[in-house]
A = this chain, B = another copy of it.
């Protein structure tokens, strides 16, 4: 475990170049391996320290789709603001229809819907229209038939039938119940139906991407696999990912990505491991602070995180599946928290029985891709061994917590579904 204080840079300066060199060497895991790794929970606690909600912004109701309200909203007035017809038909007094039947039709005289519907009268109304004064029910077309200036009613209607009362959907001052989560299509329609025009939503997290690049290795995944993948998951989490240049000097690239326009986080992909070219975490240490490098997680355990120019920086592994998982657990957690969403994994979960055992190592959180077959979860490959191919065939993944050495066949496990 490599943990230095948040004020490491300042102390480095205070304690002179010799001490700084010693500290830098202690951060360097290249050709040595990780002496220790922090737990996923501890790394997430570090993330949560930086996840204060962004400031609210005003947007149109239409733009509020998938945004999170900055504060709970209450209805400004009753909705509907008046009693209105819920169906097309004739507004009448229910008492007038008592006893009406096919054999004993009740005859009402037709009047204007803009006036009073008196005793023995009825007025044509369309669904959604105001219920005329005097009327207390709507007689549908299946129960009424026009005969010249009169109406024959062949079925009794109860008081309130076919009418949506004033405030029936929501009363003035009542909470609308759409806060605390991304607004859905029909939530937006609901807000529009309340004649809201602009609403305050939590700001949209902006992430800046530095591609540290693949190591110079044969048969390696094309490095542009990361950009589209990360852009998609950042967008799913309510944020936006913009590319920033890399260049020869990673320290400068990180500082540039963290500067104006200042993003809410920086994501660096690649070069996080213990090989000779794995210089991204050290570049982050040189640009600011590197409190965490190495997490007890498979795949994705070489992830690093720190701060440069007061912006949180996530140095994600180059292997695409490890990169994705480290995003989901750490960088994505920050994106979701900043944007006002629940910070935990965003995948829907279900509980399923394992078809085969999952073998895991005690002491690290292991993630296993699974396919759902007839409602049961079938492990695909052994952890990293299947790579992206296994993830592409998978319906989701199972997390084996650090204290466990796996799951037995038939065990009930929680599947995070894609």
> Per-residue CB proximity of A20-60 to B under 8 Å, as 1/0?
00000000000111000000000000000000000000000
**A32 contact set on B, CB distance < 8 A:** 141
Segment 196-236 of A: residues with Cβ below 8 Å from B = 214-215, 217-222, 224-230, 232-233, 236
Contact B128 A318 (CB under 8 A): yes
- In the complex, residue of chain B having the shortest beta-carbon distance to the beta carbon of A166: B219
Q: Say yes or no for A82: interface residue by CB 8 A criterion.
A: yes
Give Cα A33–Cα B240 distance, bound, in whole angstroms: 50
Extra inter-chain contacts (17) besides given A130-B218, A185-B324, CB under 8 Å: A61-B228, A84-B219, A88-B275, A89-B274, A124-B276, A126-B215, A126-B277, A127-B318, A128-B221, A129-B215, A168-B387, A169-B390, A177-B393, A185-B230, A186-B324, A189-B226, A193-B320
Interfacial residues of chain A within 171-209, with CB under 8 A of chain B in the complex: 176-178, 184-190, 192-193, 195
Q: How far is the CA of A69 from the CA of B371 in the complex (A)?
A: 20
Please pick, from B126, B169, B229, B275, the residue contacting A388 in the complex, using a CB distance under 8 A: B169
Residues B126 and A276 in contact, CB atoms below 8 Å apart: yes
- Taken together as a complex, chains A and B put the C-alpha atoms of A31 and B125 apart, in Å, by 10
Contact, CB under 8 Å: B273 / A192 = no
**Interface contact A141-B33, CB-CB below 8 Å:** yes
Cα(A178)–Cα(B394), bound, Å: 9
Contact with B along A102-120 (1 / 0, CB 8 A): 0000000000000000000
Contacts of A130 in B (CB 8 A): 217-219
Closest chain B CB from A20 CB (angstroms):
24
User: Is B232 in contact with A65, judged by CB distance below 8 angstroms?
Assistant: yes
Cβ of A76 within 8 Å of any chain B Cβ, yes or no, is: no
Do residues B385 and A168 form an inter-chain contact, with CB atoms below 8 A? yes
CA distance A336 to B359 in the complex (A): 39
Chain A residues close to B by CB (< 8 Å):
31-33, 61-62, 65, 79-82, 84, 86-89, 124-130, 140-142, 146, 164, 168-170, 176-178, 184-190, 192-193, 195, 214-215, 217-222, 224-230, 232-233, 236, 273-278, 318-321, 324, 348, 350, 384-393, 417-418
- Give, as a whole number of angstroms, the nearest-CB distance from A34 to chain B: 8
Known: A84-B219, A88-B275, A225-B189. A140 touches B232 (CB 8 A): no
B128→A220 contact, CB < 8 A: yes
Does the CB pair A86–B320 fall under 8 Å? no
CB of A186 within 8 A of CB of B224, answer no
Measured CB to CB, the nearest residue on chain B to A380 is B177
Q: Complex formed: what's the CA distance from A318 to B88 in Å?
A: 12
The interface centre, meaning the residue of A130, A177, A384 with most chain B CB atoms within 10 A of its CB, is: A177
Contact A31 B61 (CB under 8 A): no
Given the complex, which residues of B lie within 8 Å of A189, measured CB to CB?
221, 225-226, 228-229, 320, 324, 388
Contact B127 A273 (CB under 8 A): yes
Q: Which residues of B contact A277 (CB under 8 A)?
A: 126
Given contacts A31-B124, A232-B188, A319-B127, contact A193 B221 (CB under 8 A): yes
Chain B residues with CB under 8 Å of A392's CB are 176-178, 186-187, 190
With CB as the reference atom, state the residue of chain B lying closest to A78: B219
Distance of A386 Cα from B193 Cα, bound (Å): 13
Nearest CB of chain B from residue A26's CB, rounded to whole Å: 16
Could you tell me if B126 and A217 are in contact, using CB atoms closer than 8 angstroms? yes
